[in-house]
Amino acid sequence: MSRRIFVIRHGNTFASSADARRVGAGTDIPLVDSGMAQAQRLASYFAARSLGPVRLYSGPLQRARQTAAPIAAALDHPVDAILPWLDEIDHGPDEGQPEAAVVARLGEAAIAAWDRDGIVPDGWTVDAPARIAAWRTWFAAEGEGAELLVTSNGAARFALLALGLAYGQLKLRTGAFGELIVDAPGQVRLLRWDERP
């Protein structure tokens, strides 16, 4: 049996009426009601699938753990571990700033390069080599069944970068996931990315 790896982004942390802000590892905010609903949809989606043996992991931030909790309940399987390398990145001077202000400071091209190619914008603290190494180590491990990793957008994108996959868009929307198949340690195929149940 091959390994199926689901990279899951946490649910919404802002109401639809609120101005979006850049929140990174330094801002540990909870899910809002719509984010809890997204987490429930993810839970229902995975519970309805034949996943075989399951392992469930979460990043350390509250928003990731709150997304993982209903999935764990629906699968009747605890969160196996909190993995520090699934933490969000550090947005430096843009932490907590409205998205419009971030774009004004960095420019649309810098944001597009981050979302498309993982090029770290000026002032952000991101150890890209360490992130890529963590994903490569994960993909190289032995195992079988389904692995669900609940994380943030900043961490999730490095899964594709670690594989050298030119997907065109690294970003996962809130409450969305990607699915990868590991046919043999280190041999990984992308089945889908940025899908919402």
Decide: 147 and 178 in contact? Cβ < 8 Å.
Answer: no
Indicate whether 150 pLDDT > 80.
Answer: yes
Flag whether pLDDT at 39 surpasses 80: yes
Secondary structure string (H, E, C) spanning 74-125: HHCCCCCEECHHHCCCECHHHCCCEHHHHHHHHCHHHHHHHHHHCCCCCCCE
Query: Which residues, in sequence order, are bridge partners of residue 168?
Result: none
Domains of the chain with CATH codes: 3-195 (3.40.50.1240)
Sign of CA dihedral 193, 175, 72, 44: negative
pLDDT digits (tens, 9 = 90+) for 56-92: 999 999 999 999 999 999 999 999 999 999 999 999 9
Q: Indicate the pLDDT class of residue 165, thresholds 50, 70 and 90.
A: confident
SS3 44: helix
Condensed to tens digits (0 to 9), the pLDDT of residues 101-145 reads: 999 999 999 999 998 888 999 999 999 999 999 999 999 998 889
**Alpha-carbon span 197 to 192, nearest angstrom:** 12
Q: Which residues of 126-162 are buried (b: 16+ CB within 10 A; e: fewer)?
A: beeeebbebbbebbeeeeeebbbbbbbbbbbbbbbbb
Measured distance CA(50)–CA(41) in Å, rounded: 16
Strand partners, 82: 58
User: What are residue 6's DSSP bridge partners?
Assistant: 148, 179
